[in-house]
Structure 1
Amino acid sequence: MHVHFVFVTRYRRDVFTREILGDPHHIFSTTCADFEAELVELDGEEDHVHSLVNYPPKMAVSALLNSLKGVSSRLIRKTNYLSICKKLWRGSSLSSPCYFAGSCGGAPIEIIRQYIEQQQTPH
């Protein structure tokens, strides 16, 4: 099954750069593998990240989602990127508690991939 996740930064702050968006791709791929899932696509803009994940139907989407958000937030903040340090307080989480998760059962996967690829990736 495929699901489209959207993660939003805390306070919708513009903290992601092209360099920083490379980290979630690696982190999401590794975390998905731990859950027997597969990261199909990932891209984002300065204040949010879209991802398309293929996951086994036996898995609770919320468990995968919480792990992706938690692990990526913790590891990205650990690197102390200047853009993140300037815009988020020291103890503040990178991601907002809000998210979107939508099942992609009826839509062609290529259309969703194309939508994610067309995000206005920051410089």
Structure 2
Amino acid sequence: MMNKYRRTKTTVSLIHYHFVFFPRYRRKIFLNTKVKECFKELVQEICVELDVSIVAMACDKDHVHLFLHISPTFSLADTMAKIKGVTSKRLREEFPHLAYLPSLWIRSDFVSTAGNVSSETIKHYVESQKTRG
């Protein structure tokens, strides 16, 4: 897949962001397949609502990798706050073993631009993280 530029009336952009974030205390919440699938569905819903494209998404047992194509007019902090806030609330409502946590995610996260890297390279990187020890 070629990198696709995002076009609006006034801008053309190709900005991929790599986000990594963790559950509180690095809990291994994604060992539960239902939690993982629910999380992915929620992120997809949120990204549709925000008009954000998911380039790649992977959940390791205790962290998440997201590569997102975001408009330059969007706030990265607001995008992450929405993803982390909605998924925290909904997963804790859906899964009783997570309900006792005051918050599902740690406050901090990692974000980096992916530079001029192809979508295939990004997808390969995210997929390869699943096989790492």
Same fold (TM over 0.5): yes
Matched with 1:29 is 44
8 Å Cα contact 1:21/1:43 also seen in 2: no
In 1, distance between residues paired with 2:101 and 2:21?
Answer: 19
Q: Which runs of 4+ in 1 moved over 3 A?
A: none
Query: What's the secondary structure of 1:30's corresponding residue?
Result: helix
Matched with 2:9 is none
Deviations 1:15-62 (A, max 9, x none): 212321111211111111121111222112111111111111111111
| Larger strand share, 1 or 2 | 1
Question: Unpaired segments of 5 or more residues in structure 1?
Answer: none
Alpha-carbon offset, residue 81 of structure 1: 4.9
Q: Does residue 119 in structure 1 map to residue 129 in structure 2?
A: yes
AA partner of residue 61 (structure 1)? L
8 Å Cα contact 1:6/1:48 also seen in 2: yes
8 Å Cα contact 1:4/1:52 also seen in 2: yes
Deviations 1:77-115 (A, max 9, x none): 111254x46xxxx14211111211111123222212111
Alpha-carbon offset, residue 76 of structure 1: 0.9
Matched with 1:6 is 20
Question: Unpaired segments of 5 or more residues in structure 2?
Answer: 1-14
Matched with 2:114 is 104
Over the matched positions of the two proteins, sequence identity in percent amounts to 28
TM-score by length of 1: 0.84
Q: How many equivalent residue pairs?
A: 116
8 Å Cα contact 1:43/1:49 also seen in 2: yes
